[in-house]
Amino acid sequence: MKALTVHPMTAGSARLDEVDEPPTTDGSVLVETMAIGVCGTDIEITSGAYGWAPEGRDRLILGHESLGRVLEAPTGAPVAAGDLVVGIVRRPDPVPCANCAVGEWDFCHNGQYTERGIKQRDGYCSERYRIEPDFVIKIDPALGRCGVLLEPTSVVAKAWEQVDRIGGRAHWAPERAVVTGAGPIGLLAALIGVQRGLEVHVLDRVTTGPKPDLVAALGATYATGTIEDMGTVPDVVIECTGVASLVFDAMEHMGPNGVVCLTGVSSSGRSLAVDAGLLNRSLVLANQSIVGSVNANRRHYEAAAAALSKADHGWLEGLLNRTVPLDSFGDALVRQPDDVKVVIEINT
């Protein structure tokens, strides 16, 4: 079967290979892959920035944002032949640590977790894959190809959960949220904020293209510049860019008892002038909190599936604005100015 593979830490090594059928050791559920979402992680892996092949191998099958259809499943599994499904990305470490032992592998303590398509486990960008029943999520068939958005939605479902847990230390009734970044993660974070009944503002740097319209169609407000420029005081900030200046802007301009959740990963090597004393004073005297959030566990995938199911499916379709066949995978790995979510189609 065909699979998109890469030699981790080697730029330009991505290629379409003929590989063996997935081994039964990967799991008892056999899935036909329909589509794979492409994100910044995939582009960084193919650029040679990071990634780890399975033990004893040089190449890794790419792809962690998946959508597939079940071909075979054992009796008693949570899915059956014909179901639309998404594969969970992370697997608990083999020790396991205290968090992995209770299904909170997104908080793995010792770093020995593995991730499909990223770290020491083959991903989903092949014509078929196998998966363990505990790591497959059944989705609403009405979602169709929009189900490929489940994995990125799980990331922001976890972020919102972290916000709730911290905000819930006292009376918590947030009214306004700012989401920084109008990429897929930011737009999906805004979706969940709107579903919660919040006044949502999305901050990005572009002024043209599909992003402003997608935000408006969601019922949120689109803005450029800084949070201070917006003239609103947010109770919640979901930071989705990793841009250092926006991270500190979020920290400096949230409301009393506010929570900033950082989901973007910043690049190192850039210095900013920050009034650390003033920032500390604000955080302490206003009971403000900053939390980092990464990855997701099964609970977050299930919350994401519920959020997507009740979303406007036409709006979700608007996020999937560029589709590329598997044979032309290279086009999917080169960002275009108006890209929101690029999808590789495999079996349609």
pLDDT mean for each 10 residues of the chain (348 residues): 98 97 97 97 95 97 98 97 98 96 97 98 98 98 98 98 97 96 97 98 94 97 90 94 81 90 72 65 80 96 98 98 96 94 94
- Residue 267: what pLDDT? 58
Cα angle for residues 154, 171, 238 (degrees, 5° grid): 30
What is the sign of the dihedral through the CA atoms of 40, 321, 163 and 180?
positive
Q: The domain at 154-292 falls in which architecture? A: 3-Layer(aba) Sandwich (3.40)
Q: The domain at 2-138+312-345 falls in which architecture? A: Alpha-Beta Complex (3.90)
- Residue 274: what pLDDT? 63
Domain borders along the chain are: 2-138+312-345, 154-292
Distance, CA of 59 to CA of 90 (rounded, Å): 19
DSSP class of residue 126? B
Query: Do 308 and 149 touch, CB atoms closer than 8 A?
Result: yes
Query: Do 193 and 238 touch, CB atoms closer than 8 A?
Result: yes
Question: Does the model's pTM come out above 0.85?
Answer: yes
